Structure 1
Amino acid sequence: MSTAKTVPPSFGHEAHEPTLYQARLEPYRSLDRRGFVIVMVVVAAISFVCGTAFLLMGAWPVFGVFGLDVLAIWWAFRMNFNAARAREEITVTPSLITVVKVDPAGRADEARMNPLWTRLDRETMEDYGLQRLALRSRGDVVEVGGFLHTAQREELAEGLSFALGTAKRGVVRSTP
């Protein structure tokens, strides 16, 4: 499930400046672990019954092919679940944009940009909506939300645009 939220400015002891925008993006998967087990049991049962029918008719190699089909489906689901472990974390403050991308293996790649020098690039196709969203700063380009649905990417773009605009206008800080 992907989540993006605008965080009200925080002036806690840990934070020296307000958080203008914060989002944690995760790929959506409609099938959970329990559903995966149910699907695999049903597929394996159907393959076993059909394979047994072919085995009784004398076409014994087909029985093995049904087993390979079950194995291929299981492998495809495992790859899908592994890819779902990727995530992106975006934080915008008045002086820093931090984008942390974590790949499925858990390796993190962090990009830091100054919001005053950062531009939000949008690639839109008339029939399909927002297709690509990237933060561009002094020659560095970081694509964000690549695995999101178009509507979710639009929501992310609105939040980032608002946060960048707020950072460029300046944030009024109160003294304690």
Structure 2
Amino acid sequence: MPLIDLTLRPNRSLDRRHARWLIIGVGGVFLLGGLRFLVVGAWPVIPFMVIDVALLWWALRASYRSGRAYEAVRLDEVSLTVRKVSHMGRERRFRLEPYWAKAQLERLSTDENRLSVASRGVSVTVGQCLSPAEREAVHAVIVDGLARWRQSPSTSLIV
């Protein structure tokens, strides 16, 4: 049973169903505006309105595609594993020795930070897709998990 089993995903403020309604709403407003431009004789504006709606759809689709990326942090009896899976499914896996592992939360400015896990010269940045407050919470979970791992009876024999 793992001591830590986290899956970190990028935040999306608009789910797919609401994005669909947003595109339909913007398209409807542009349709009404386009009819007005057509009546006034400014019909060359209509293709640009269609392009705007298509670009909005494309941007939201690209945003949701990039949201398929995730990071998995797992601490078990043997190792601390960080898996980074890109939105295209490409995976990078880092195995760290938990006895030597250390979670570091670096303050970059008053409202920005960077979380990394390091062990024996290998450092892996974790939670880049999270907000600074979420990175602080993940840092606390990793620090607590590593402390519990070091105190568990099964790992005290290793030392």
Which TM-score applies when normalising by structure 2? 0.89
Matched residue type, 2:26: V
Q: Counterpart in 2 of 1:88?
A: 71
| Structure with higher helix content | 2
**Unmatched tracts of structure 1, length 5 or more:** 1-9, 11-18
Deviation at 1:127, TM superposition (A): 2.3
Q: Determine helix, strand or coil for the equivalent of 1:104.
A: coil
- Is 1:172 aligned with 2:153? yes
Q: How many residues align?
A: 154
Deviation at 1:72, TM superposition (A): 1.1
Q: Counterpart in 1 of 2:62?
A: 79
Q: Counterpart in 1 of 2:124?
A: 142
- Structure 1 moving runs of 4+ over 4 Å: none
Matched residue type, 1:154: E
Task: Provide, for residues 135-173 of structure 1, a one-character-per-residue CA deviation record: whole Å limited to 9, x for no partner.
Answer: 112222211111112221111000101112223x34114
**Unmatched tracts of structure 2, length 5 or more:** 155-159
Confirm or deny: 8 A CA contact 2:105 2:136 kept in the other structure: no
- Of residues 157, 168, 171, the one that matches 2:139 is 157
Counting only pairs closer than 5 Å after superposition, residues 7-156 of structure 1 correspond to structure 2 as 10=1, 19-125=2-108, 127-128=110-111, 131-156=113-138
Task: Provide, for residues 111-138 of structure 1, a one-character-per-residue CA deviation record: whole Å limited to 9, x for no partner.
Answer: 1010122221211145215x21011122
Aligned counterparts of 2:65 and 2:9: Cα–Cα separation in 1: 12
Q: Quote the RMSD (CA, aligned, Å).
A: 1.6
Q: Determine helix, strand or coil for the equivalent of 1:116.
A: coil
Q: Determine helix, strand or coil for the equivalent of 1:115.
A: coil
Which TM-score applies when normalising by structure 1? 0.81
Matched residue type, 1:62: V
Task: Provide, for residues 80-130 of structure 1, a one-character-per-residue CA deviation record: whole Å limited to 9, x for no partner.
Answer: 10011111111112430011111111121111010122221211145215x
Aligned counterparts of 1:101 and 1:126: Cα–Cα separation in 2: 25
Aligned counterparts of 2:142 and 2:77: Cα–Cα separation in 1: 12
Task: Provide, for residues 57-84 of structure 1, a one-character-per-residue CA deviation record: whole Å limited to 9, x for no partner.
Answer: 2222211111111011111100110011
